[in-house]
Amino acid sequence: MSSVEDARTLPFAWYSGEEALREERARIFARSWQYGGRAAAVAEPGSYLATDAGGVPILVTRARDGELRAFLNVCRHRGAVLMDGCGDRETIQCHYHAWTYGLDGALRAAPRSDREPGFDKGDWSLLPASVEEWGPFLFVHPDPHAGALAEHLGDLPEILARDIDIDDLVFHSRVEFGANANWKIVVENFLECYHCPTAHPSFSESVDVHPDRYKLEAHPTFSAQFAQAKGTGERGQFHLLYPNTGLNVFPGPANLSIGPIAPAGPNRTERYLDYFFAPGLDAEWIAEFFAFDDQVGKEDTVLVESVHRGMASGVLQEGRLLLNAEPLLAAFQVWLGKQLSSA
């Protein structure tokens, strides 16, 4: 993307409307690795975790044989979502008509099916999906024949390891939030710090956001941002693993947050971040960190909701990117366009 014409944004009409979201769910979220939660939630035999991949319900289990599995979290009878949350149990039972599955996905019981000629429980097991672990993180993919997670991660683990060892971190908590904006607007806001001097005074006061020192790198499957704290030179990293997994390492004591940027409709995005810190980190520092992060998040919410209202008004067809300041947006939009145009 080198010409003025190439610097145009995606059509603003792509950021609203049910049809656009249906295409994205079919061509992007149903075909991508996404963060699904903490690997610790399904570490023990007999455990399960219900998660979501851009609107595709996924159920991760670890049966008594110790194998980690994933399925579409949808009953084969009438399509009810089977489970929420996480926990321990021997079977998965639908709350609608009590169809019961093992943690291996096999249909164990379907009330009154013995009265149905030709009914074979073996034909109605849960449909499989894919699941893999990366350190303390769990990733899911709706396709049971997905390529290896390592291929999608690319160089990200090595880049992250420059500043932090993910296996040394301890889970602290999950924070849930959202915005009345299309998921792509939220992603694109995450992909640039062009807005930081204007919209994030506290962030810009502590982190050097000068364009010569706030570094941006586009990779085939993710976008990377690198920053340094003013004064101390401590380093931070901010990544988007396509299509929608955000990963943050702020300058300072070892910290990491990770979570999906998930569409809850064309006009709403739901998010959560799982926070990890170095063991024994000072509680006062963590409290100050959360206050800082919350402030930045609230500022971003105001921005993305404003952008959504403007785009959805229909008064403009498109915008114009500044490629020196927003190259990661351009890279994401090229990737997005390729996914949506794929067969």
Domains in the chain: boundaries: 37-145, 152-341
C-alpha–C-alpha distance, residues 203 and 292, integer Å? 8
- Cβ(141)–Cβ(151) below 8 Å: no
* pLDDT exceeds 70 at position 3: no
Is 148's pLDDT higher than 70?
yes
User: Confidence band (pLDDT; 50, 70, 90) for 187?
Assistant: very high
**CB contact at 8 A, 185 and 274:** no
pLDDT tens digit sequence for 31-45 = 999 999 999 999 999
pLDDT over 50 at 1, yes or no: no
What was the pLDDT predicted at 196? 98
Number of neighbours of residue 293 by Cβ within 10 angstroms: 18
Q: Which residue has the higher pLDDT, 256 or 17?
A: 256
pLDDT of the residue at 39:
98
Q: Name the residue among 128, 144, 334 with its Cα closest to residue 243.
A: 334
The CA distances from residue 114 to 93, 100, 175, 283, in Å, are: 18, 14, 46, 59
pLDDT above 80 (res 343): no
Taking the mean position of all CA atoms in its chain, how far away is CA 86?
A: 18
Determine the topology of domain 152-341 in CATH. Naphthalene 1,2-dioxygenase Alpha Subunit; Chain A, domain 1 (3.90.380)
User: Does residue 4 have a pLDDT over 70?
Assistant: no
> Which H helix or E strand runs over 137?
strand 137-141
Kindly report the number of other CB atoms within 10 A of residue 305's CB atom. Answer: 17
**Comparing 37-145 with 152-341, is the CATH topology the same?**
no
Half-sphere exposure (CA, 13 Å, Cβ side) for 100? 10
- Spell out the alpha helix ranges (H) of the chain: 18-27, 149-153, 156-160, 183-190, 196-199, 201-206, 283-312, 327-341
What average pLDDT does the segment 162-189 reach? 98
CATH class of 37-145: mainly beta
Q: What is the mean pLDDT of residues 192-205?
A: 97
Residues above pLDDT 90, as percent of the chain: 96
pLDDT tens digit string along 252-288? 999 999 999 999 999 999 999 999 999 999 999 999 9
CA distances from 308 to 53, 188, 271, 304, 311 (A): 23, 12, 17, 6, 5
pLDDT value of position 110: 98
Mean pLDDT of the chain, nearest integer: 96
Q: What integer pLDDT is reported at residue 6 of this predicted model?
A: 73
How confident is the model over 168-193, as a mean pLDDT?
98
% residues pLDDT > 70 (the chain): 98
Between helix 283-312 and helix 183-190 the angle, nearest 10°, is: 130
Angle between helices 327-341 and 183-190 (to 10 degrees): 140
- Using CA atoms, how far residue 263 sits from 26, 228, 312, in Å, is 13, 31, 16
Report which DSSP code applies to 207: B
Asked whether the predicted pLDDT for residue 226 surpasses 50, the reply is: yes
Give the pTM.
0.95
Cβ density class 141-173: b for 16+ within 10 Å, e for less = bbeeebeebeebbeebeebbeeebebeebeebe
- Give the model's pLDDT for residue 341: 86
